[in-house]
Chains A and B, each alone.
Chain A
Amino acid sequence: MIQKFDAVEKEALESLEKEQNNDIPQIYVGCATCGNATGAQSVVQTIKNKLEREGVKAEIKEVGCIGMCFAEVLVDVIKPGRPRISYQDVTAEKAEEIIDSYIINDDHRPDLALGFFGEGGPEDVERIDTGDVFKNQQRVILKNCGVIDPENINEYIARGGYRGLAEALEMKQEGIIGVLKDSGLRGRGGAGFPAGRKWESCLKPQADQKYVICNADEGDPGAFMDRSVLEGDPHSVIEGMIIAGYTIGSSKGYFYVRAEYPLAIKRLRKAIAQAKEKNLLGENILGTGFDFDLEIFQGAGAFVCGESTALVMSIEGNRGWPKPLPRPRTTEEGLWGKPTLLNNVKTFSVVPQILSKGANWFRSIGTEGSPGTAVFALTGKINRSGLIEVPMGIELKKIIYEVGGGILDDRKFKAVQTGGPSGGCLPDDKLHLSVDFDTLVEAGSMMGSGGMVVIDETTCMVDVARYFLDFTFEESCGQCVPCRQGTQQMLEVLNDICEGRGREGDIEHLIELGESIIKGSICGLGQTAPNPVLSTIQYFQDEYEAHIKDHSCPALVCKNLIVYHIDEEKCTACGRCRKACPVEAISGEKKVPHKIDQELCTKCGICFQECPERFSAVERLTGKENLAAAARGRLTDV
């Protein structure tokens, strides 16, 4: 069997060699959804046209996301015998320039370059892989993303792909589970359940049919880790699922992918077909007599359908409602009542590497309790947003200030939100905490499936809580009272607080509600929905109080609690704000300081942005007194 795989590998390498001409420049364009959204496809087209026009030979590859979303569109060029140079923020024009300067001539354009990978790059360009972005990262799950052409199985195989499967097929089921258990792998879908134990409990039951399901619902707002893996390295997930099928004795697997991920679906389809062609999937895999087939099921994008029992209901054609306890375990009675193994995209994708490199290798990364790496979608008020992969146990501080390059515009850090709508916000004095499943939960947040939003002083914490509650309110399935009614109630209270209708006792009301919702809800959605509120109250109660007692929004965000005002002393009557105001609320003439008519002002904030920084005459005021003065039309008296 291993010989069979050796032959498959050999053939893949040979055809790669044939396809790939290393004597000509290689051009990589990041064409995941993030890249495409910033125009990667038109850049690819421009490059193709330009090369043809110029009669230059070069190989173009559309690769997945390498994680540096802040710099997209990313174009990497490898000239024969040279290191890989990355160009950032590439537009069609810049792409033409790069071809002219670097590919046709030999000017590597340090002005456009982000940096280079590997040794021996030009001195006037930074080295990326040892720089801040990558030096703290460890690419395990994402090792192929942005590096290989995801639509070419041969490239995956060339980087060690499917060897894990070949090795697994030589092993006994219990042996594979043993390795997983030794590795300490915990599910990457959020809760961190030990994968080995889950696989074992699915191996035990006797059944004529078992199923393997990959949870690619990824419903957290702002999260796109799973999408990137599917778009950038689909074979790793497929390989993991085949191994799972072999281990638990299943011949059928499903991808549950949200329909909003068309590119991921397209790449998966292609990958499945390619794996079948090579007899790595389908009937009699590598001549072992083991059959395994994969089907893609497109979800309609309900967050709750990421919950395992709701997901199963959804595939069965039912309403996507989680099953209340007590209920049979999915591993014993899951899809169509059969034992079902359900894991997250990243969980499956790392399994092949664990099998080929060993449990100890995996344990050598991360912490004792949470081995391996964590993938985060790093966003918010941060200099370098993007997809990152760090070893578990890294300090939050390091992620934010080194990998992420610190806070945007050098503002003050306020909080970091992890775990999406199920998680919480951690303040400054928690930044020393290490990132792993257990530490974050202790601090009132959680790993979740991997969103990390950085919040600075210009963000209102009540507004942040409201944002997440609005999400869970919309996404509650409506089955149980605490979540269906409770998220709505919390949202109403938060709306009131943000809009100046907060009442004394609201904070206690929110805390009490939150505790009841956590205790009373059926599924994880409701059981975690209050977390963003409770954690912001825990760490930022003063902001809540300011809103309620003084109708003041310290971050100057909540529209109803701020007024725009022009400081007469500072105003030079330049007239910019007057011209820009969309509702003509600003009056004034040359040499006469300008004034805002509060009745007309819609608080759009345009005047604030328009007023030149050197004048800074437009100010935002908040608090009961200012609001009352504005209502009387006599703000200047304040």
Chain B
Amino acid sequence: MFKVTINGLETEIEKGATVLEAAEKVGIYIPTLCHHPDLSTFGGCRVCMVDTDGKIVTACRAPVADGMVVKTDTEEVRQVRLSNVELILASHNEDCQNCTRNNSCRLQEVSAFVGINQERMSRIRRSVEPVKEDDSNPFFHRDFTRCIQCGICIRTCEEINGVAAIHFAFRGFHTKVSVLGDKPIKDSKCESCGECVVRCPTGALYLTRPETPEREVESVCTYCGVGCGIKIGVRGDRVVKVDGNRDNEVNRGDLCVKGRYGFDFINHPERLKTPLIKKDGIFVEASWDEALDFIADKMSDIKAKHGADALGGISSARCSNEENYLFQKLFRAMGTNNVDHCARL
């Protein structure tokens, strides 16, 4: 364990920890923009700078040393942080009102903390690169005028989803997050998992249907047997959003495109809510008991007439392992080995 003193507060922390982690431990806030606890560190935004033993370093990357003395509020630190945030704002879209992240934006939080003010900003020459928005993805859009090049989306795609659909392209001031060949994201290998959108600290990656839920319900995704934990955001009786549940051991908050964005069916007017049985050429609503009895009768008939191998069962990827186990047991008990699964079709 290393002993570290931050602004006079002493703490012990294991070797290899960063200054940022040590500060968190003693409850000292250090502004960050490109750091995300799920991801490797980047070190590009430079707003987390602190003074360690007289040297100015990035807290998100710098490892603690035994006996280290950290100061987070020296004149120099304040100046560098403020200047960095001013510079980011200089080429950032000014219109917070029309941004989906207004009030939940990390850039706003950090700006407020470092003390952005009108008088100083009036010296700054603003120039927002007029890059056209990428609206090719049905679930989220990419607004380059609100991107701060923190690279969180890039690292998310590579480290969380393992897809690496996006990376930085071009150089210097013209650097932007891009897919191969700077095409619309729909023409890339992006799987629309939305993990990057979740982590983007600003309104650069925003949901095309951004509705804030009025309450959240914990549940399990119905799409596949993994059974990711989700939090369903509800308004009235409408599902307006699905988030991964970070407390769920199965997925720790991560989701795929279906679980995250495929919730339209829940409130869809054409959604089937009961079994249907065709009577005289027309589908008629039925109860589950009715439907199961109907199936059982039919299957018994077929077995009696044509033998058990005339029957076959196809299970679903939506079922859990246990359900699939029971399913194949059922068919074998009926006397056939004709069991298959939708994932093989």
Which residues of A come within 8 Å of B, CB atoms? 302, 319, 324-326, 473-482, 484-489, 492-493, 496, 503, 505-506, 509, 512-513, 515-517, 519-522
Contacts and interface: CB of A to CB of B under 8 A. Distances in A.
Which of B79, B91, B172 has the most A CB atoms < 10 Å from its CB?
B172
6 contacts: A325-B43, A478-B171, A488-B173, A489-B90, A505-B123, A519-B80
A509 B46 CA distance: 19
B291 interface: no
B80 A492 contact: no
A70 to B, nearest CB: 35
Interface stretch (B3-11, B55-63, B217-225): B55-63
B168 A319 contact: yes
A477 to B, nearest CB: 6
B43 A481 contact: no
B193 interface: no
Given A326-B62, A520-B83, A476 B46 contact: no
Nearest to B174: A478
B43 A324 contact: yes
A489 B171 contact: no
Nearest to B76: A519
B170 interface: yes
A481 B79 CA distance: 14
Given A489-B90, A509-B123, A522-B43, A478 B173 contact: yes
Contact of A489 (B49, B56, B87): B87
Nearest to A320: B171
Interface string B7-44: 00000000000000000000000000000000000111
Interface in B156-201: 167-168, 170-175
Nearest to B47: A481
A496 B149 CA distance: 26
A305 to B, nearest CB: 11
Contacts, number: 109
Given A486-B87, A505-B123, A509-B123, A522 B44 contact: yes
Interface string B74-90: 00100110011001101
Given A474-B172, A478-B168, A492-B127, A512 B43 contact: no
Contacts of A474: 171-172
A486 B124 CA distance: 11
Given A481-B44, A481-B46, A481-B87, A512 B79 contact: yes
Given A487-B172, A516-B84, A326 B44 contact: no
B45 interface: yes
B125 interface: yes
Contacts of A478: 149, 168, 170-175
B297 to A, nearest CB: 66
B83 A512 contact: yes
Given A324-B61, A488-B127, A520-B83, 19 more contacts: A319-B167, A324-B44, A324-B58, A474-B171, A477-B171, A478-B174, A480-B46, A481-B45, A482-B46, A482-B83, A484-B173, A485-B87, A503-B123, A505-B123, A509-B123, A512-B83, A513-B83, A516-B83, A519-B80
B57 to A, nearest CB: 7
A100 to B, nearest CB: 54
A485 B149 CA distance: 11
Contacts of A488: 90-91, 127, 172-173
Which of A302, A488, A512, A515 has the most B CB atoms < 10 Å from its CB?
A488
Interface of B: 42-47, 49, 56-58, 61-63, 76, 79-80, 83-84, 87-88, 90-91, 123-125, 127, 149, 167-168, 170-175
Contacts of A487: 172-173
A585 to B, nearest CB: 32
A302 B171 contact: yes
A477 B44 contact: no
A516 B79 contact: yes
Nearest to A518: B80
Contacts of A324: 42-44, 58, 61
A479 B44 CA distance: 6
Contacts of A506: 123
B88 A480 contact: no
A416 to B, nearest CB: 28
Nearest to B167: A319
A476 B125 contact: no
Nearest to B58: A324
Contacts of A513: 83
B145 to A, nearest CB: 14
Contact of A480 (B44, B90, B125): B44
Nearest to B83: A516
B80 A520 contact: yes
A600 B123 CA distance: 33
Contacts of A477: 171-172, 175
Contact of B149 (A484, A515, A522): A484
A286 B84 CA distance: 57
B46 A473 contact: no
Contacts of A516: 79-80, 83-84
A484 B124 contact: no
Contacts of B62: 325-326
A330 B76 CA distance: 30
A472 to B, nearest CB: 9
Contacts of B57: 325
Contacts of A484: 149, 172-173, 175
A302 B221 CA distance: 49
A475 B44 contact: no
A183 to B, nearest CB: 31
Contacts of A481: 44-47, 84, 87-88, 149
Contacts of A473: 172-173
A482 B79 CA distance: 12
A505 B120 CA distance: 10
B187 to A, nearest CB: 22
A496 B127 CA distance: 13
Contacts of A520: 46, 49, 56, 80, 83-84
B166 to A, nearest CB: 13
A591 B63 CA distance: 81
Which of A496, A512, A520 has the most B CB atoms < 10 Å from its CB?
A520
A480 B43 contact: yes
Contact of A482 (B87, B91, B175): B87
B171 A492 contact: no
A485 B170 CA distance: 14
A512 B125 CA distance: 14
A476 B87 CA distance: 15
A475 B172 contact: yes
B61 A325 contact: yes
The 5 A-B pairs with the shortest beta carbon distances in the complex, nearest first, are A478-B175, A516-B83, A485-B87, A324-B43, A476-B172
Nearest to A486: B87
Nearest to A504: B123
Nearest to A503: B123
B63 A326 contact: yes
